[in-house]
Amino acid sequence: MSKSEKIIELIFGKRGSGKSYLAQKLMAGHRRYLIYDTLGEYKDGIVIQNLQELKPFWHKVYRRNFRIVYQPLKPVQEFESICELVWECENMAFLVEEIDCFCSSLSLGDSFQSVIQRGRHRDISLIGVTQRPHGIARLITSQAKQMYIFNTTEPRDIEYFRQVLGENVVQKFADLKQYEFVKWQDGNEQLEIGRA
Interacting residues with ligand ATP (CB under 6 A) = 13, 15-21, 39, 41, 131, 179, 195-196
- The interface partner of residue 194, options being ligand ATP, Mg ion, none and the CB cut-off 5 to 8 Å by kind, is none
Is 152 an interacting residue with respect to Mg ion (CB under 5 A)? no
Nearest-approach distance from CB 17 to ligand ATP, in angstroms: 4
Q: If you write DSSP's letter for every residue of 32-61 in order, what string do you get? A: EEEEE-TTS---SSEEE--HHHHHHHHHHH
Contact 10, 140 (CB under 8 A): yes
Closer residue to ligand ATP, CB minimum distance, 24 or 81: 24
- The interface partner of residue 183, options being ligand ATP, Mg ion, none and the CB cut-off 5 to 8 Å by kind, is none
Nearest-approach distance from CB 195 to ligand ATP, in angstroms: 5
Among the candidate windows 20-28, 76-84, 107-115, 135-143, which touches Mg ion by CB under 5 A?
20-28
Closer residue to ligand ATP, CB minimum distance, 3 or 15: 15
Taking Cα atoms as reference points, which of 26, 65, 75, 17 lies closest to residue 45? 65
**Backbone phi, then psi, for 194, in 5-degree steps?**
-140, 175
Is 20 an interacting residue with respect to Mg ion (CB under 5 A)? yes
In terms of phi and psi (left: phi > 0; alpha: psi -120 to 50; beta: otherwise), the region of 104 is beta
Q: How far apart are CA 150 and CA 131, in angstroms?
A: 10
Residues that bind Mg ion (CB under 5 A): 19-20, 41
